[in-house]
Copies of this chain bind each other. A is one copy, B any other.
């Protein structure tokens, strides 16, 4: 059984001009992607940010749902307990490697075609079936930095939008891609 994990990267991302920058954590990204992760049996949901104040905020969110929020809404606790706050994507890869005993297949996602040839969702699904672990990586802002895309083991094809429209929220894109790969 393949263990699949998810990472949501806030650095390094690109802004609208293609410059490297760092985005802020969005509370509803944490909730929505944690809920989707729990629905599809994902092992861990890594929130990646090097900003310590942001790391603390993320931990404040998740600790609420491990404390008072748990009684109020136990299903939200069940989702948010998947969250792991890490400083860099490499930390997520290392944490998964420690669990699996080998490096997970790192799968980058992008809303646009770039220089690297992408893999279709059915092909990726097949490749995942033969891996012991997979780390699915989503970007924020205007997407993952090229260094992340180039450093991944494979790049998933973008979701095709009508008339070339490719502006899904990362919450929706993650839901659709996770359903296509694991549903």
The segment from A29-37, A88-96, A127-135, A148-156 that touches chain B is A29-37
Q: Which of A6-14, A49-57, A169-177 contacts B (4 or more CB under 8 A)?
A: A169-177
Tell me the complex Cα distance, A79–B173, Å.
15
User: 0/1 per residue, A144-183, Cβ < 8 Å to B?
Assistant: 0000000000000001011101111101111110011001
Interface window among A17-25, A38-46, A100-108: A38-46
- Shortest Cβ distance from A166 into B: residue: B39
Q: Count how many chain A residues have C-beta atoms less than 8 Å from C-beta atoms of the other chain.
A: 31
| Cβ contact of A162, chosen from B40, B159, B172, cutoff 8 A | B40
Cα distance A106–B21 in the bound complex, in angstroms: 44
List, in ascending order, chain B residues with CB within 8 A of A179's CB: 159, 176, 179-180
10 A-B pairs with the lowest CB-CB distances in the bound complex, closest first? A41-B162, A172-B175, A39-B161, A75-B167, A176-B179, A175-B175, A32-B169, A36-B172, A175-B176, A38-B165
5 extra interface residue pairs, beta carbon distance < 8 Å, beyond A35-B169, A76-B167: A32-B169, A32-B172, A75-B165, A173-B175, A175-B175
A81 contacts partner chain B, Cβ-Cβ < 8 Å: no
Chain B residues in 8 Å Cβ range of A161? 38-40
Return chain B residues, CB-CB under 8 Å to A76. Answer: 167
